[in-house]
Amino acid sequence: MEKKKMKKDIPALTKSGGLLSDFGGKGVVLEYRMWIHYHDGRSDEYQTSDNLNVLLGLRKGLLKSKDIAIVEQPLAVVWDEKKEDYREVRIDGIKYD
């Protein structure tokens, strides 16, 4: 797993919305991403992984941290061919808070 503020080929800020199944399912995932927001106003950051289970495990640990306000559920990043841009989408089967 690699911590990133910005990645050259997949920007931190992307389009968002939709379900992974709308874009072809797990075979089209470029990376999984989980956003982290702090209480003290530090810049938001995200963790990425090629393995969804890695992020789900990391999330459990981060939820115990007193420094972190919100740990979002992991999202999948896909290429949106219609908009010709990257897009964060919800993963089918994950319960989002």
Angstrom distance (rounded) from CA 58 to CA 29: 19
Contacts of 89 (CB under 8 A, 6+ apart): 16, 17, 18, 19, 20, 22, 23, 75, 76, 77, 78
- Residue 56's pLDDT is 95
Q: Averaged in consecutive runs of 10 residues, what is the pLDDT profile of the chain (97 residues)?
A: 51 95 93 95 92 95 94 95 94 83
What is the reported pLDDT for 9?
A: 83
Q: What is the pLDDT of residue 8?
A: 55
Q: How many CA atoms lie within 13 A of 22 on its CB side?
A: 16
Q: What is the pLDDT of residue 72?
A: 95
> Can you give the pLDDT at residue 41?
84
| Residue 62 exposure: Cα atoms within 13 Å on the Cβ side | 21
